[in-house]
Chain A
Amino acid sequence: MQRHVGRVGGPRRIGASLTLVIMVLSLPSQVFAGATVEPHYTHTKAHGSVPTSIGGMTDSYEIRVTNVRNVSMTGVIVYIPTDFELINESASEVGWIARRLPAQPGVLGGVSWNGREILPGMSATFFLSLRNPDVGLFLPAVETFLIVQTYPGGALATREPVEITYPTRLFGIDYATLAFTLVAVVFLLLLLDGIVSLKRRQKMLTAKT
């Protein structure tokens, strides 16, 4: 952990970050603002409003960080839950230097970005390509990402949940879309049936007259 954070700041920053890490792990994400995690396949799933991705697939996660303080933000660390496999990382703006932080006993792995600053009120977007963990059919997992924003003399941490569900797509089509399309086909066929029978009746009437 010390090695990870040492690249971003000094021992005091490490202490501040660690304190915040411990604090935020026991609090819901709604308490904090300033960072969001959005998987590419985001989908507000049944009975909840948590961004969702699909178990076992490699997804692109967009991390949007906003500077809510009055001083410039000097770096960002994203701690990735242990079940994920990091494939790639990038930033929307040039100049950010990414460093992978391998997981160590008791410390989550992640990625840190330094080399630029985010001015007060401004935002920056970072991307992580992650292989999602496998989950059971009836056992979706809610994984929590920890985003630490570093400032001169302090840090701000945000905890963002992402739900990983059993695959919800077949050949790239959402199950809901697939089901409702099939239902629509059923009723379209009935409509076709109705039109054909109407035309037949008209023909019969014409033949009679």
Chain B
Amino acid sequence: MPHGAPEIIAYGVVALFSIGLILHWARRTVTPASVTEPPQSEATEDLTAFDRIQRLFHWATLAVLLMIIITGFALYDPSTFEPVAAALGIPLHSAFPSYVLAHVIFSASFAVLLGVHVVWDVKRLRALRRMMPAAQDFRDGLLRARNFFSMSKKYPRMSKYDAFMKSFHLYLIVSSALLAFTGIYQYFYASWWNVLWFLHSQIEPWWRPTVIHDIFGFILIALVVGHLYFGLLRVNRPLLRAMIYGKISKSEVNRRYRLDELRGT
């Protein structure tokens, strides 16, 4: 029996998240946020925000994540993916095991990239503390939320990573572990793509790893959409440019960022 996450939940997560982003865009277009916090110190030169390894990891992770999402989505909802497969001229219903294999290969690549990332950022850059949410992040988040709802005119300077980015990072860790566990379980013990539809329910255990995998996968899709939105938003363009070229100009740093938080990769 088909046994994935109900569409109302899977697509509902993406739809609700998108509505939130549309509201954010509308609000910030009407009244853009302008920083009111005075600078602690001024930058005298352009700053390196991300080194070469970090940038390479970021873009490679994006590419791999997109491939994981595409292959996973084809497996979750083949009828919606059908026009895409037809346009690309690639088989779908007859090639489920190939999609699973591609999904597994990209997931393994993601795991390798994560390994490199952990070794580089934690061991070499000692940047673990930088990614952990701190009291300052919650204070900033609260102030930004009050500003968003017109309850305050104050707006804080930005750190390299704000509360939302740190939360996204934390979610990536938790969801990667959950998705890996449920994915590995499905691959070895509940491989529904290898059996006829009416046997699906017989190989699916009571704790429904497929449903858990689908729901967390769709939350990940929603958060990747959110990450792309905030990454491409005009106010965050300096960070986007830094993710491509490595540096942020001193004028941008002095206008919007906390110099001490931005220093060092």
Contacts and interface: CB of A to CB of B under 8 A. Distances in A.
A125 B21 CA distance: 48
B25 interface: yes
- By CB atoms of chain B within 10 A, which of A44, A161, A182 has the most? A182
Contacts of A137: 6, 8-9
B248 interface: no
A24 to B, nearest CB: 13
Q: Is the interface of A mostly helix, strand, loop or mixed?
A: mixed
Contacts of A166: 6-8
Interface string A137-156: 11010100000000000000
Q: In which size bucket is the chain A interface?
A: 35 or more
Contacts of A186: 18, 21-22, 25, 225, 229
B14 A48 contact: no
A166 B234 CA distance: 40
B248 to A, nearest CB: 18
Given A45-B2, A165-B6, A175-B8, A138 B211 contact: yes
Nearest to B79: A44
B257 interface: no
B59 interface: no
Contacts of B229: 186-187, 190
Given A46-B2, A186-B229, A176 B75 contact: no
A102 interface: no
A193 B21 contact: no
A202 interface: no
A168 B25 contact: no
Contacts, number: 116
Interface stretch (B43-51, B162-170, B196-204): B196-204
Contacts of A165: 2, 6-7
A167 interface: yes
A137 B211 CA distance: 12
A123 to B, nearest CB: 23
Nearest to A45: B2
A208 interface: no
Number of chain B interface residues as a range: 35 or more
A137 B196 CA distance: 22
A189 interface: yes
Nearest to A175: B11
B41 interface: no
A19 interface: no
Contact of A47 (B4, B8, B25): B4
A46 B233 contact: no
Interface in B1-30: 1-12, 14-15, 18-19, 21-22, 25, 29
Given A185-B22, A190-B233, A193-B25, A47 B3 contact: yes
B25 A189 contact: yes
A2 interface: no
A120 interface: no
A140 B1 contact: yes
A30 B196 contact: yes
A140 B201 CA distance: 11
Given A46-B7, A186-B229, A142 B1 contact: yes
Nearest to B208: A138
Given A138-B211, A179-B11, A193-B233, A44 B78 contact: yes
Nearest to A52: B2
Contact of B6 (A28, A138, A194): A138
A68 interface: no
Which of B6, B79, B193, B198 has the largest count of A CB atoms less than 10 A from its CB?
B6
The 6 closest A-B pairs by CB, nearest first: A46-B4, A48-B2, A182-B18, A175-B11, A179-B11, A44-B79
10 contacts: A43-B79, A47-B76, A47-B193, A48-B197, A138-B6, A179-B12, A179-B14, A182-B14, A183-B14, A193-B233
Interface of A: 28, 30, 43-50, 137-138, 140, 142, 161, 163, 165-168, 174-176, 178-180, 182-183, 185-187, 189-190, 193-194, 197
Given A168-B7, A175-B15, A182-B22, 6 more contacts: A43-B79, A46-B4, A48-B1, A175-B7, A175-B11, A190-B232
